[in-house]
Every structure is written in C-alpha cells, then in structure tokens.
Chain A
Amino acid sequence: MSAPAPVDEARPEERHAERPAPAAILRVGLQRYAILIVFAIMVAVFGVDLPGTFLSVGNLSNILGSQAVLFILVMAVLLPTVVGDFVDLSLGSSLGLSSMTLAVLNVQHGTPVLLACLAGIGAAMVVGLVNVFFVVFFDSDPFIVTLGTMTVVQGVIYIVSGSNSVGIVSTGLSNWIFTNEFLSIPLEFYYGLAIFLVVWYVLSFTPTGQRALVIGQSREVARLSGIRVNRQRAFAYIIGAAIAGVAGIAYAGTNGTVDPTAGSSLILPAYAAVFLGATAIKPGRINPLGALIAVYFLAAGTAGLELLGAQTYFQQIFYGVALVASITIPKVTRDRFLKRKRSA
C-alpha cells in the first residue's frame, strides 16, 4: 500500500519544488551571464576612459573584423571539443596548411583563386581525416595524436613554403574577405557569423547536436543508447578541420602574405575562447554562443588595453588571466553551494 500513496502526497510539494528558490536563480543567472556582465562593465569603463576612440565605429569595426580569423577557428575548435575530444591541437596547423596551400598555388603556380581556396580547405580536411584515422579508429589519445599531426603538418608547411612567407595572394580574395565592408565591418566577420549560425543551430537545435552533447559528456552512455559515437566524432574532426581551412583562407585574405607560422599562434587563444565560453550561457557545457561572446570579450578587452597604451603582449596576459579566472570563479561559488546542499 505504501507506494502509490506518496504520489498524491508529494504532488503539491513537487510543484513547489520545481520552482527554484530566488537565491538559486540569482546564482545560476550570475554564473550564466557573468561574462556578459563583466563585458558590459569593461565596455563602460573603456568607453568612459576613451570616449572618442573606444566607442568609435572604427574601433568597433576593428574589433569585429580583426578577430574574424580567430572567430572562425574557434568554431572549428568547438566541434571536436563538444564530442569530448578535448584537444585537437592540429587545427592551428590545419589553418596554416590551408592558407599556405592557397598562397603557394595562387602565387607560385598561378592557380585560380577559387580553386586554390578549395585546395586549401581540402588540405585541411586531409589532416582531419588523418586524425580520425588514429583517434577514432585506433582509439588513440587525441592529445598525443594531434600533437603529432600538428608537428608533422607544421613541417609540411615549411617544406612547401621553403620556410618563407608567400605572397601576395590575389587582391580579389583580399577584397572579398577583408577590404570590402558591409556596415563598416569587413566581410570576413559575416562569414564567421554565418558559420557560427550553422554550428549554433546544429548543436543547440537539432537532435544531432543533443547527441553530440551526450557523446561529449558520457561516451559510454551514448554508445549504449544506440548513438553512432564514432561516426559523430569523425564528422566533428573532419568538419572542424574544414572550418579551420576556411579560417586559413580568411587569414590569407586578411594578411595578403602567408607566414609559415600562421595559425600556430592562434590555436591557444581559440581554446581559451572555447573554454571561457563554456562558463557562460550554459555553464559547464561547450557552447557556440558562449564561445562567440568569449571571443569578442577577449578582443574588446585587448583592444581597449591597447588604446590605453598597453603593449601588445598584454593581450596574452589578459587572455591567460581571463581563462583561469573564468574556470575558477564558478567553481568556488558552486563548491560552496554544493557543500551546503550535499546530504547523506
């Protein structure tokens, strides 16, 4: 007799319990929007300190435009990370390989620029395929495998470029990526935005995205729920590499000449943005919207610091501090909360 009775008894309490206490809402909300709040404060401070420059159209366009390559790379990094392969270090090299392929074909061999772009993206996808081969099919540790492929690809870049910068790529490409503007912002920003919208839609609004999340959080559960774990992981690697290839095209278009080290300096900031983004909007989960906010939070912060006269290397310090702070602060608050709540 005991079992059905509690159903009814518990009902009123259940309804009540479904609504969290105001304090909890505040806490979750604070965590969820912490970056946005800090972002707003930062913009306000810079805006007051640098009224004529920080809030100018030129600076806004600079912030949005200059980080477009990083922004696209962040979307690339996001994909393998969501399915639980926490590092694909080779994505930076894929970016470099893509832009170098484009530059070498276009500049040294006179290949039409569109074809060269496709070749660049293709080259990046080959790197993704190699990763899939080792990480997914042989089930090797992604950190070590991609460390290896990163190094190999970097070597390949030096070989094809003869260790020199290659330029100048077709101005047509530069026009369509960097020089032409829409609402005073270079077109590449909109390319990034388009990629973001697709990634965001797939990850947040389709069962595919939800499955990717399950794979990332608990691979064994995903497998035993009939999800094609390896196929999704493989797609994440290959599409991620393709997006990194697109980032490489954007890099070439932005800079005109391609340096053999292109990309290697971008991969860590990209991860910084992804992990920083995972503390926002949906705390604890890698999510595209959070990453978008994080990229431009970091970009705005460094732009403001530069306008205030800080040297460029402060950018790195700012990134590092923001990353460590972002991962620590929610932990401190959450652990306190849990300690109070944890019961028998």
Chain B
Amino acid sequence: MSSPDSETPGSSDKRIGLQEPPASGEQAAPPAVEVRGISKDFGSNRALDQVDLHIGHGEVLGLLGQNGSGKSTLVKVLAGVYDPEPGGRLFVGGEEVALPLVPGQASQIGLSFVYQNLALAPGLSVLENLTLGQRIGGGLSSWKAINWMAERRRAAVVLDRYDVKLDLDRRTGELAPVDQARLAIVRAAEDLRRYRTRSGYKHSVLVLDEPTVFLPEEEVDRLFDLIRTVVAEGAAVLFISHDLAAVRAITDRVVVLRDGRVVGEEVTADIREEELVSLIVGAPTRAGQSAPDGGAPVEDQQAVALTLAAMQSAGGADAVAAGENVAVEHLTDEWLRDLSFEIGAGEILGVAGLIGSGAEELPYLLFGARPAGSGALRLGAETMDVGGLSPQRCVRERIALVPADRAVQGLSQSLTLWENIVMLVEDEHYRGGIFHRGELVDLAREAIDRFLIRPPRARNAMSTFSGGNQQKALLAKWLLARPRLLLLHEPTQGVDVGARRDIYRFVKSAAALHHMAVLWVTTEFGELAEVCDRVIVITQGRHTATLDGEELTEEAISAAALRQTREDR
C-alpha cells in the first residue's frame, strides 16, 4: 500500500526533486509544502517515523489515521510546538526552511492552523475575534489606536469575500458551532491571503485539524463550501479528520498514517471506503460492508460475554434484571412537540435529526439534566413526569446518560481512571463506616480489562487517555450502574475506528443480555443504520418517520431527516 500510485504527484518528488511539476499538468511549481523524513520521539516511543508528505497548490489533502497514529504530532511539528528529530526537512513553496520551527514562525512562512477547539474567545464579538490576529504584533503597533470603524468595514468585506454572513457584533459564543468553525476558518484564510499579498509568494497552506467533529452532517456542507472558496482563493488545505465521509467529500488526495508511518497515499476518487478503513486500522477487513458492520456472530458472542462479566462483577443478583419496556409520551418542550415513542426491552432505538431538530435535546430531557416542559416517561410499571426529573432521581431509577461532551460533562479529567469508572457505585463499597477502596480499584481494573481501555493504568489521570478510551471509560462507568434505560448522545464523536467498533459491541451486548432499553441519538446516520434495531426521525421537534428492517439505511435516514425539513419551510 505504501508504494505511491503512479498518478499521484508525490511519487516523483523523491527522485527528481522540486523542479518536477505536480501532475496537474499546469505550469511547473513546487508543492506548497513538503516535508521529508520527519520523525519525532517521545522517550522510547516513536510518534512519527520518517514521514514524507507534500501538498500541491490548490489541493485539499486529507490526513487520516486513528488516534495516536501521529496526525496531531505532525501538525504540532508544523506549528512549531514540537521539535522534530534531526534529519527531517521542510520545504515551503520550494524553499527549504530550517527545522525546528519556533512557535509563531509558521504564520510567517504561510501556514495557518484551525484546531478543533477553534481558538476563538467566546466572550468577544465576531469582529474582535476576526481581528485578533492583527493584535499580536509587538512593538509600537501595540500602542496605536484601533480604528474600529475602519476595522468593521474591512471585516465586512472579508466576510463577504468568503460568502459568510455573520453579525459582527454577536458574541462569538452565541454563534452556532458551524458558524464558529467558519469564523475560525475565515480568520485563518484571511491571514494566508494577507501573507500572499505581502510576501508575493504563491503558496500558503491552511491546516484544518478535525474541523467537522462537532458539526452535524447538514452543516458540514456549509463548511465545505467555505473550504472550496478558500482553495479557489489560492490556498492549499491539509484536512485532518476521523470522518471518512467528510474526507471523501472534500479532499483530492489522502495520506494515511498508522503508528507514525505513512502507510498509504491515494487519490481520493480512486479508493474505496473499505480500502481506506483497512489502511487506517491496519488489519485487512473482509470484503464489502463487513468493516463497519460488526454483525459477525463470533465477535459478538465474545463481546457479549465480556460485557456480561463486567456487569456481573459490578453487583449483586439484580445485575441481570429482566428488561423493562420504556415509553415516552407527549414530551413537549422548547424544541420538541408532543413526542411519543416506545423502546422495547433490549431494543436499541436510534433517534435521527439534524441539529436544531430537537433530537439532541432528548437524552438530556429524559435524564432531567435540562428543564423539560411536560410529558411522561414510563419505565416498566412506573410512570414519571418528565418535568419533575432530576439527574439524582434518574440515577436512582437507573437511567444512564452518556453525554456528547465527555470531556466536560462525562468524565472528570483531573481524577484518575478508576475514580471515574466507579463513581456511581461507591456507596455499595462503604460498609460499617469503612470505605473499601481496594474493592473499587479491583472493580475498575476488571472494567478496564473488559472494556479494552488502553493503557490499562487505573491510577492515571483521565486527561491522559485518548478520546476513544475515555469514551469506553464513560460507558463502563454507566454500565457498572446497571441501567434500565441507557441514553447515548453522540457516543462515538471524536473516537477512532477501532474504539468505535468496540463501543458498538458493548452497547449491543448490554442491550441483548440485560434487556436494557437503549436510546441512541446521533447525527451520524450511518452509525444509526448499523447499530439500531429501529430509528425514529425527528424534524422540527416532531416525530416524522420510523424506519426499521430493510428501510434502515443511512440514505433513508438522511433523506427522511432532510426531506421533511425542507417541506416544512
């Protein structure tokens, strides 16, 4: 796989050097950015191993890989955050730049970065954020008066150029996530444009690190429109993502990293999705749909056994409870309009809806985490008023919520892994005035084994674990509490392919074995099609479609979610 395609421009570079034009057929030009032989060690751990990479002018290059594959490390080398090992070389617009870069140097050689957290100040206005970059220079300019009127006019022109409509006076934190992302990209692109005008160079590269993670599918398209505009303006884009669909939609070429090495370099249009998955994961997947399918019976049996053991170890005889049916009746709040549905014992019910449809509110309302209007939640024989729910009550009733924002709402980053996992079952290990910590640590260790959390270090701080492993820990935490109803919101967001499959299996087996009712809310419709027994579609707060059996495909879900939105408008 690692031998480059004959059509890709990358193949010729090593032999012939920079004078060779990229295969675009146009005038000879060196790549906008090229790195050769970049390595980076962390102690004995080699995070990057002789990475070669180049990005042509006006090209969108996708950089793919699982968590820990070295993507972020490479970005941080380019940003001047990490010093690479000696021997690596960096060429920008055909000219060699000495490594390591110092922080801040990247912007002076035509590189600009947009990270997942966007680096916007939520309390400042759109205008202030947009012009933030111009405030950084030191010296006398720090003391010059800012002409806000002129800044405003210029900012309006800039937004206009990229066809982004935003109120310059809005607090940035109040913008929709996609608009925040677009603002960050416009700001970075504008820095690049200014760089090109000032320096006279043609090259410039916009590095987008996981820009689509927090965006619903529909919004991603608006982001892509912006990226295309940026490319048309003359910048190249390095697009780093987990999201295969996004990568396939926007990139011209992809480079796959695994364990710090480049394991594949392909023209996006020429590679099939399963080939890409097997490049990323490293194991050859079976033909066809099998990669994300997870339906292999042997695999499932084992996963089921693992989860069962984990849950039995957690508690007494009631661990394996008879399942209970769940029904939600006439749920109404700010977004939702008279929503009713049922989840059978052991059923995984998917909820699909675009952002703003109200679907994303559902798990929080049913957990009492946000004040709800009215409605009833029936759990077995009990009926509860949704308006009167609180997280305390729901934990008592054994309702579990895995929130989307795992870093802030799900797990305490500064506590250790074991403390997070056993958080809900501590009381069971406090007897006669003695807190049996040892039992809790053992319990956590067992869960770490069962839920394949790596590295299996119970006493490490939560913040040191990768997204996928944090998500598994979060799932373990709630499954140990033996929920009757499991509410999941974007459970695989920012999670690598391997961990994602593990999570699918854990939830499936929990539902199958414990007859647990599961509500799975996500904007990743492909995931719903794969995992759920049945999917309900919510558009504009209303339950507008139910899909199951043969109709349960990603396309059908997307269509249902989109179509009805448009009809209503």
Q: Could you tell me if A3 and B43 are in contact, using CB atoms closer than 8 angstroms?
A: no
State A2–B452 Cα separation when bound (angstroms): 13
B222 proximal to A (CB < 8 A): no
- Give the chain B neighbours of A221 by CB distance below 8 A: 408-412, 423
Q: Which of A133-141, A223-231, A247-255 lies at the interface?
A: A223-231
Chain B residues 497 to 511 lying within 8 A of chain A, measured CB to CB, are 498, 501-502, 505
A344 proximal to B (CB < 8 A): yes
B149 proximal to A (CB < 8 A): no
A311 proximal to B (CB < 8 A): no
How close is B418's CB to chain A, nearest CB, in angstroms? 11
State A284–B460 Cα separation when bound (angstroms): 13
Cβ-closest chain A residue relative to B425: A207
Cβ-closest chain B residue relative to A222: B412
Q: Which of B389-397, B532-540, B561-569 lies at the interface?
A: B389-397
Q: Please, what's the 1-or-0 string for A1-30, where 1 marks a CB less than 8 Å from any CB in chain B?
A: 111101100100010011010000000000
- Give the chain B neighbours of A18 by CB distance below 8 A: 456-458
Q: Could you tell me if A226 and B391 are in contact, using CB atoms closer than 8 angstroms?
A: yes
Q: Which of B69-77, B114-122, B318-326 lies at the interface?
A: B69-77
Q: Please, what's the 1-or-0 string for B359-380, where 1 marks a CB less than 8 Å from any CB in chain A?
A: 0000000010100000000000
Q: Please, what's the 1-or-0 string for B282-308, where 1 marks a CB less than 8 Å from any CB in chain A?
A: 010000000000001011001100100
Chain B residues 225 to 277 lying within 8 A of chain A, measured CB to CB, are 260
B550 proximal to A (CB < 8 A): no
State A1–B68 Cα separation when bound (angstroms): 22
State A3–B426 Cα separation when bound (angstroms): 30
Which of B281, B302, B408 is in CB contact (< 8 Å) with A218? B408
State A206–B419 Cα separation when bound (angstroms): 13
State A6–B298 Cα separation when bound (angstroms): 15
Cβ-closest chain A residue relative to B75: A344
Given contacts A17-B455, A207-B435, A218-B412, contact A4 B303 (CB under 8 A): yes
B384 proximal to A (CB < 8 A): no
- Give the chain A neighbours of B45 by CB distance below 8 A: 343
- Give the chain B neighbours of A227 by CB distance below 8 A: 391-392
- Give the chain B neighbours of A225 by CB distance below 8 A: 391, 395, 423-424
- Give the chain B neighbours of A226 by CB distance below 8 A: 391-396, 424
Which of B67, B415, B434 is in CB contact (< 8 Å) with A205? B434
A89 proximal to B (CB < 8 A): no
Q: Which of A3, A6, A206 has the largest number of chain B CB atoms within 10 A? A: A3
Given contacts A206-B435, A207-B435, contact A224 B403 (CB under 8 A): yes
Q: Could you tell me if B42 and A340 are in contact, using CB atoms closer than 8 angstroms?
A: yes
B430 proximal to A (CB < 8 A): yes
State A342–B70 Cα separation when bound (angstroms): 11
Q: Could you tell me if B42 and A341 are in contact, using CB atoms closer than 8 angstroms?
A: yes
Chain A residues 304 to 344 lying within 8 A of chain B, measured CB to CB, are 340-344
How close is A227's CB to chain B, nearest CB, in angstroms? 8
State A282–B549 Cα separation when bound (angstroms): 54
| Total number of residue pairs linking A and B with CB closer than 8 Å | 116
- Give the chain A neighbours of B296 by CB distance below 8 A: 1
A220 proximal to B (CB < 8 A): yes
Chain B residues 189 to 214 lying within 8 A of chain A, measured CB to CB, are none
Chain B residues 414 to 440 lying within 8 A of chain A, measured CB to CB, are 414-415, 419, 423-424, 426-427, 430, 434-435
- Give the chain A neighbours of B299 by CB distance below 8 A: 1, 3-4
Q: Please, what's the 1-or-0 string for A153-178, where 1 marks a CB less than 8 Å from any CB in chain B?
A: 00000000000000000000000000
Q: Which of B303, B395, B423, B434 has the largest number of chain A CB atoms within 10 A? A: B423
Q: Please, what's the 1-or-0 string for B446-464, where 1 marks a CB less than 8 Å from any CB in chain A?
A: 0001001011111000000
State A173–B410 Cα separation when bound (angstroms): 51
State A159–B454 Cα separation when bound (angstroms): 62
- Give the chain B neighbours of A218 by CB distance below 8 A: 408, 411-415
Q: Could you tell me if A14 and B456 are in contact, using CB atoms closer than 8 angstroms?
A: yes
- Give the chain A neighbours of B531 by CB distance below 8 A: none
A151 proximal to B (CB < 8 A): no
State A326–B321 Cα separation when bound (angstroms): 51
Which of A213, A224, A340, A342 is in CB contact (< 8 Å) with B367? A224
A56 proximal to B (CB < 8 A): no
How close is B49's CB to chain A, nearest CB, in angstroms? 12
Cβ-closest chain B residue relative to A341: B42
How close is A190's CB to chain B, nearest CB, in angstroms? 22
B33 proximal to A (CB < 8 A): no
State A250–B427 Cα separation when bound (angstroms): 36
State A344–B46 Cα separation when bound (angstroms): 10
Chain A residues 107 to 139 lying within 8 A of chain B, measured CB to CB, are none
A293 proximal to B (CB < 8 A): no
State A207–B434 Cα separation when bound (angstroms): 10
B186 proximal to A (CB < 8 A): no
- Give the chain A neighbours of B393 by CB distance below 8 A: 226
- Give the chain B neighbours of A2 by CB distance below 8 A: 281, 283, 498
Which of A1, A7, A214, A341 is in CB contact (< 8 Å) with B298? A1
State A224–B404 Cα separation when bound (angstroms): 12
Q: Which of B67, B392, B393, B458 has the largest number of chain A CB atoms within 10 A? A: B392
Q: Could you tell me if B412 and A3 are in contact, using CB atoms closer than 8 angstroms?
A: no
State A343–B69 Cα separation when bound (angstroms): 9
Chain A residues 196 to 218 lying within 8 A of chain B, measured CB to CB, are 205-207, 210-211, 213-214, 217-218
Which of A1, A210, A224, A341 is in CB contact (< 8 Å) with B410? A224
Chain B residues 464 to 523 lying within 8 A of chain A, measured CB to CB, are 498, 501-502, 505
How close is B448's CB to chain A, nearest CB, in angstroms? 8
Given contacts A3-B299, A3-B501, A4-B303, contact A342 B42 (CB under 8 A): yes
Residue contacts A-B, CB under 8 angstroms, 22 given: A1-B299, A3-B452, A3-B502, A3-B505, A7-B452, A14-B455, A20-B457, A210-B419, A210-B426, A213-B415, A214-B419, A218-B408, A220-B408, A220-B409, A222-B412, A224-B409, A225-B424, A226-B393, A341-B43, A344-B47, A344-B71, A344-B260
Beyond the given A214-B415, A344-B48, please list 15 additional residue pairs across the A-B interface where CB-CB is below 8 A.
A2-B498, A3-B502, A4-B299, A18-B457, A210-B419, A220-B409, A221-B410, A221-B411, A221-B412, A223-B391, A224-B401, A225-B391, A226-B393, A344-B71, A344-B72
List 3 A-B pairs, minimum CB-CB distance, nearest first: A226-B395, A218-B412, A207-B426
Give the interface of A toward B (CB within 8 A). 1-4, 6-7, 10, 14, 17-18, 20, 205-207, 210-211, 213-214, 217-218, 220-228, 284, 340-344
